[in-house]
């Protein structure tokens, strides 16, 4: 039955929130999407871009096309949807290739949890200089200056947590010394970092 339904009928049914019609529309345009993706990859040669990400962008564009298409455009829905998907793919590739986005996709947060059950963070396992210092110790002088300038913005407890972290103690060790949870230590460090960024 669905194979004989044209785009306009399918569009109407999708707008009526008939789920099977949406599935049929996505199935109908799946091949078009993959052709667009392959064409974009051949044309722009993006490095590090996942085809699945481009596929997701195309699906979003297709549903945007469904919602914004009007019959008075005097263009077939197929052409309109294809144009929308091409634009979404180009925009994604342009954004992905920007310096800021590339850094975002290819960087790791030092505060990333490695083993959640053990409260183990990436900066706890990175090789140090042999003296047991944390990566924050690289900024020890700047942190001292900052804390002295903003001394009234942080409690003594928060300052102590920061200094222990700078000395190379892990979140777990600090939480035991300060009689709190490791998550509270993390929240304190993140709060100070936010203040420093601002």
Provide the CATH number for the domain around residue 55: 1.10.1740
- How many structural domains comprise the chain? 2
What angle do the packed helices 7-15 and 19-44 form, to 10 degrees?
120
- Nearest Cα neighbor of 161 from 145, 144, 139, 177 is 177
**Which pTM does this prediction carry?**
0.50
Q: Write down which residue in 49, 75, 105 finishes a domain.
A: 105
Both 7 and 88 in one domain: the answer is: yes
Phi, psi (deg, nearest 5) at residue 101:
-65, -40
- Token output for 100: 């800021």
Both 144 and 121 in one domain: the answer is: yes
pLDDT at 194: 73
What's the CA gap between 62 and 28, in Å, rounded? 11
Is 166 within 8 Å of 126 (Cβ atoms)?
no
What angle do the packed helices 51-68 and 19-44 form, to 10 degrees?
130
Both 93 and 128 in one domain: the answer is: no
- Sign of torsion, CA 179 185 187 189? positive
pLDDT at 130: 47
What's the CA gap between 5 and 121, in Å, rounded? 54
pLDDT at 197: 62
Is 186 within 8 Å of 137 (Cβ atoms)?
no
Both 14 and 92 in one domain: the answer is: yes
pLDDT at 127: 47
| Segments of the chain scoring below 50 in pLDDT | 1, 127, 129-132
Both 36 and 97 in one domain: the answer is: yes
Helix (H, G, I), strand (E, B) or coil at 19: helix
Show the domain range for 87.
2-105
What's the CA gap between 172 and 120, in Å, rounded? 8
pLDDT at 38: 92
pLDDT at 34: 95
Q: Contacts by 124-127 with C-beta closer than 8 Å and gap 24+?
A: 124/170, 124/171, 124/172
pLDDT at 76: 92
pLDDT tens-digit map of 149-158:
655 677 888 8
């Amino acid at each position: 039955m669905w194979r004989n339904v044209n785009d306009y009928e399918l569009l109407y049914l999708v707008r009526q929130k008939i789920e099977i019609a949406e599935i049929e529309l996505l199935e109908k345009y799946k091949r078009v999407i993959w052709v667009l993706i392959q064409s974009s990859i051949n044309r722009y040669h993006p490095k590090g871009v996942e085809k699945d990400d481009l596929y997701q962008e195309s699906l979003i564009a297709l549903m945007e096309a469904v919602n914004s298409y009007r019959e008075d455009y005097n263009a077939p829905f197929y052409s309109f949807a294809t144009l929308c998907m091409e634009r979404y793919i180009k925009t994604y590739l342009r954004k992905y290739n920007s310096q800021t986005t590339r850094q975002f996709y290819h960087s790791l947060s030092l505060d990333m949890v490695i083993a959640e059950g053990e409260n183990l963070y990436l900066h706890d396992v990175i090789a140090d200089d042999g003296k047991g210092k944390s990566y924050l110790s690289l900024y020890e002088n700047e942190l001292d200056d900052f804390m002295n300038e903003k001394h009234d913005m942080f409690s003594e407890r928060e300052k102590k947590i920061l200094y222990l972290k700078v000395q190379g103690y892990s979140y777990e060790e600090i939480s035991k010394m300060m009689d709190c949870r490791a998550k509270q230590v993390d929240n304190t460090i993140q709060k100070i970092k936010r203040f420093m960024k601002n």
